[in-house]
A = this chain, B = another copy of it.
């Protein structure tokens, strides 16, 4: 394991100075084609590999992006993380990913550690935390940082926020169920106090109020388990809702399986719309109608916005919401 060759070895081997090699590395226009070729040949000949730490020391960008995710196991976030990471990779950036599991302490530590590693920018889907010291630290560090999917820090002028148009989605879903003639429409899932819940419920509230219909909430964790439990409970109720909007597809899928146990078939006995349109929703039975968020495109767009900030210096707008659409499938049709 004899030391990695350096720029100097390359220079020696190609018969040029280290400065020239450096120029080649940053493919400067100032080096003659023939020289460049010679240098490049030397590099592969001796198996040179670039040392980013050394470059970073002199101020070059690290080409490292920090991605901090509150719940990486949730397929919605997984999809987002995978998509953003792959976009960065295509542009030559590596991504340091950390899952915080909704834990502010973990979040604070991983952010600190990423700063030490010299990440060039941050994308954070933050944990709801009482104190914002993590963000204060970020501000001081001066590292470009985007909040995505959850706006936790108010200072969107410093930490631009990008998300999806959940209000519109919720409006679409409610309108759809109303048009199908549903009388009692329930909203299932989502923790009551959370901003995301507020957003995903707002269109529902708006239209239900406009129609003078009763709002029916079943608030709770946006998980399969919760969905399943609510479905079982609902099956036993005397005046059961005839339409359900779920906080997320995970909840909806949980409900579908809960209903299956009690012989209720969404689409026939009750109408259901999910939220997110994860892959599984088009595969399950019955196929789940959902609000498509197209996370993977959202990931690409966010990545691109961040790169523009980093490379061209144009900061993303303070708040950006990408559009969503309603996908109608079996769960909200007469079968």
Contacts and interface: CB of A to CB of B under 8 A. Distances in A.
Interface of A: 1, 4, 47, 49-54, 56-57, 62-64, 72-73, 75, 78-79, 81-82, 85-86, 89, 92, 94-99, 101, 106, 109-110, 112-118, 140-142, 224-225, 228, 254, 257-258, 260-261, 279-280, 283-285
Given A86-B99, A97-B95, A141 B49 contact: yes
Contacts of A140: 47
A331 to B, nearest CB: 12
Contacts of A81: 72
Contact of A283 (B64, B224, B280): B224
Copies of this subunit: 2
A94 B113 contact: yes
Majority secondary structure of chain A interface residues (helix, strand, loop or mixed) = helix
Nearest to A228: B283
16 contacts: A49-B112, A49-B141, A57-B57, A62-B117, A64-B117, A72-B82, A73-B75, A73-B279, A89-B109, A89-B113, A95-B96, A95-B98, A97-B97, A257-B284, A258-B285, A261-B285
A224 B73 CA distance: 18
Contacts of A75: 73, 75, 78
A291 B140 CA distance: 49
A82 B86 contact: no
Given A47-B140, A57-B53, A257-B284, A98 B109 contact: no
B98 A110 contact: no
